[in-house]
Amino acid sequence: MVEDLLKAALDAARGTGVRYAEVRLYSDYRHEYLAIKNGQTEVLTSRDDRGLGVRVLRPKGWGFGATSVLTREAVREAALRADRMARSAEATGSEIPWTEEAHLPHQGHYASSVREDPFEVPLEEKVALLSDAVRGLQVGPAVKVGRAELSAWKEEKHFLSSEGASYVSQITHVGAGMVAMALEGGEMQLRSYPTSFGGDFAQGGFEHIRSWDLPGHAAETGHTAVALVTAPVAPSGVMNLVLASDQLALQVHESVGHATELDRVLGYEAGYAGTSFVRTQDRGSLRYGSPRMTIVADATVPGALGTFGWDDEGTPAQRVEIVKEGIHTGFLSSRETAARINLPRSGGAMRGEGPLRTPLIRMTNVNLLPGDHSPQELIQEAKKGIYLETNVSWSIDDKRLNFQFGCEVGRVIENGELGPLVRNPLYSGMTPVFWNSLRATSNPSTWHVWGIPNCGKGQPGQAMHVGHGAPMGLFENVRVGGGTL
């Protein structure tokens, strides 16, 4: 049945004059989301979707059509609509370049490595785990909210293109986290574990959720939230800054990942997501950061959220160098955008969120490679400054230059040692200035690939699962503030 529908859609899409067409059919697209707050159910929900998306390339225009109804008639209509859209786009467009990649097409099968299927773990056990965590967070009356959540996704995607590419992808993702909200004397503070905004996310099974051991970290998380309420406000000024791995991962995401998406660089996202300060001619010459900065977009990292077999144009997963020793060397790209700057092949970064969204250039796992310092050595080298952990606020301009981030936790660094807790820390900067102030990063034993399941982009909007490997990092002379800047 799946093959029939794929073929029916592709046949309908492949009308006269169509240069390329691809069909993605999701025969299984599941999401389970469980959240317990203060011992009560906040959300226990299970999503079970199906659908098919068709993308058509005519010489001067793209079109996309999608349906959640899996019948021959419905998928055929989606394909014809995609072609109708492509014809419409041709009226205002010029020739669309496209890499002819000799290594394509590919046929194959990709599956996540899953030890414990999260959908087979009894609900009772999942609820108990979250309830235990919530109880553990509630260390005193100041904790007004203890909340724990977990997510699991499973998708089975069938891909077929007019070039003969054909693959099946079975991907399982999981995530879990918890947060304590303490409120006393009119001051509210949050503390999360393993990081904020739902926790950490990975590709694989329930074994990841067990490994994060939410109940085992709950009391400490709750106590830190309470301590933050009465902690002094973070100091203000220009100082040395040590970022924990989770915050540095988000810094990479916002100021490197998005900035090097080639559709943004070329102006194709100007209306909503924005553009980039990076220009196509900067490749090989822009000093993005200090020599300690090497960043790769690697869709092959085992167990990471941005890992897959092939992207949604049939291009195999690959490792693309973005910044090497501080010099900008590459982009996140697609077959069209790669061709626009005369690259021989796509970087394999095209993905769509489910069947109803068109593929776009999305981050894979955009990773800052580790250095050689231990965490203690980083703090010692900072001498005087501040250490920040776990994002609570993030904002950056549409060219990815001017950023301001806030963190849950700060600790003053005095005489090369971590000092007292401070609350409401912020830091800000301009992307290349900031990255050029990178003096050192921590060693591989401290490096972690964080999963972010909600990277927003596109019109209509899409949320993508991406990964970011990051160590700790020491930056010099950064503008820091407490509460505001």
Partner 1 sequence: MTTSPVTEPSHDLLAKVLSRVSGTADARLYRERWTTLRFANTRLYQPHWEDSAGVSLRVAHEGGRIGVATTTDLTTEGLDRLVRQASALAAQAPPVRSFPGFPSGHRGHSSSSSATPATAAPRLEAKEAELERALARCGILAEPRVAGVYNEGDCELAVANTSGLSSVARRTVAQASFLVEDLARDPPVSGWSEIAHWDPSHVNLDALAAEALERTPREPAHPVEPGTYRVLLRGPAVATILTMLSMGGLGAFAVEEGWSFLTEPKGAPRIAESLTISDDPSDDRGLPSLMDYEGTPHRPRHVFERGEARGPAHDVLTAARAGVSTTGNALPPEAPWSSAGPLPLHLVVESGTATEDEMMRELGRGIVVTRLHYVRYVHRQKTLITGMTRDGTYWVDHGQIQHPVANLRVTDSMLGLLARTLLVGKDARCYNEDERGVLSPIVPSLLVDGLHFSSATTF
Contacts (CB under 8 A) with partner 1, residues 179-208:
181, 183, 186-188
Look-up of token digits 């203690």 = 376
Indicate the residue among 219 and 233 with the shorter CB distance to partner 1. 233
- For residue 95, state whether it binds partner 1 (rule: CB under 8 A): no
Residue 186 burial (C-beta neighbours within 10 Å; 0-12, 13-18, 19+):
exposed
Question: Minimum Å distance from CB 301 to partner 1?
Answer: 26
For partner 1, which residue of 49, 213, 220, 321 counts as binding (CB under 8 A)?
49
Q: How many CB atoms lie within 10 A of CB 158?
A: 18
Buried b (16+ CB within 10 A) or exposed e, 266-280: bebbeeebbbbbbee
Look-up of token digits 């609350």 = 423
Look-up of token digits 């226990």 = 44
For partner 1, which residue of 39, 108, 141, 164 counts as binding (CB under 8 A)?
39
Stretch that binds partner 1, among 153-161, 299-307, 377-385, 426-434 (CB under 8 A): 426-434
Indicate the residue among 111 and 123 with the shorter CB distance to partner 1. 123
- Report how many residues bind partner 1 under the rule CB under 8 A: 88
Indicate the residue among 447 and 475 with the shorter CB distance to partner 1. 475
Question: Minimum Å distance from CB 386 to partner 1?
Answer: 17
**What ranges in 162-213 are assigned the alpha helix state H?**
206-212
Q: How far apart are CA 237 and CA 199, in angstroms?
A: 30
Footprint of partner 1 on 292-321 (CB under 8 A): none
Q: Are 441 and 472 in contact (CB under 8 A)?
A: yes
- Would you call the peptide bond into 194 cis, given omega within 30 degrees of 0 as the criterion? yes
For partner 1, which residue of 131, 300, 318, 380 counts as binding (CB under 8 A)?
131
Q: How far apart are CA 112 and CA 307, in angstroms?
A: 9
Sign of torsion over alpha carbons 254, 300, 150, 463: positive
Q: How far apart are CA 64 and CA 199, in angstroms?
A: 34
Q: Are 167 and 310 in contact (CB under 8 A)?
A: yes
Footprint of partner 1 on 230-269 (CB under 8 A): 266-269
- Consecutive H or E run containing 432: helix 431-436
Indicate the residue among 285 and 459 with the shorter CB distance to partner 1. 459
- Would you call the peptide bond into 375 cis, given omega within 30 degrees of 0 as the criterion? no
Give the x/- contact pattern for partner 1 in 63-92, rule: CB under 8 A.
Answer: xxxxxxxxx-xx--xx--xx-xxx-xx-xx
Footprint of partner 1 on 333-372 (CB under 8 A): 356, 358
For partner 1, which residue of 15, 33, 105, 210 counts as binding (CB under 8 A)?
33
Residue 428 pairs in a beta bridge with: 404, 479
Indicate the residue among 120 and 415 with the shorter CB distance to partner 1. 120
- For residue 127, state whether it binds partner 1 (rule: CB under 8 A): yes
User: Token pair for residue 188?
Assistant: 């509210």
- For residue 325, state whether it binds partner 1 (rule: CB under 8 A): no
Stretch that binds partner 1, among 32-40, 171-179, 234-242, 322-330 (CB under 8 A): 32-40
Indicate the residue among 85 and 317 with the shorter CB distance to partner 1. 85
Footprint of partner 1 on 10-29 (CB under 8 A): 27
Q: Are 353 and 424 in contact (CB under 8 A)?
A: no
Task: Single out the residue of 393, 396, 388, 397 nearest to residue 405, CA to CA.
Answer: 393
Give the x/- contact pattern for partner 1 in 150-179, rule: CB under 8 A.
Answer: ------------------------------
For partner 1, which residue of 107, 374, 445, 484 counts as binding (CB under 8 A)?
484
Footprint of partner 1 on 366-425 (CB under 8 A): 393-399, 401-402, 404, 406, 424
Buried b (16+ CB within 10 A) or exposed e, 85-94: bbbebbeeee
Indicate the residue among 249 and 382 with the shorter CB distance to partner 1. 249
Stretch that binds partner 1, among 44-52, 97-105, 153-161, 231-239 (CB under 8 A): 44-52
DSSP 427-484: EEEEHHHHHHTEEEEB-GGG-EEEEEEEEEETTTTEEEEEEEEE--EEEEEEEEEES-
Indicate the residue among 369 and 392 with the shorter CB distance to partner 1. 392
Q: Are 435 and 429 in contact (CB under 8 A)?
A: no
Indicate the residue among 350 and 378 with the shorter CB distance to partner 1. 350
Question: Minimum Å distance from CB 448 to partner 1?
Answer: 24
What does the DSSP 8-state code read for residue 364? -
Footprint of partner 1 on 105-124 (CB under 8 A): 123-124
- Would you call the peptide bond into 460 cis, given omega within 30 degrees of 0 as the criterion? yes
Indicate the residue among 9 and 382 with the shorter CB distance to partner 1. 9
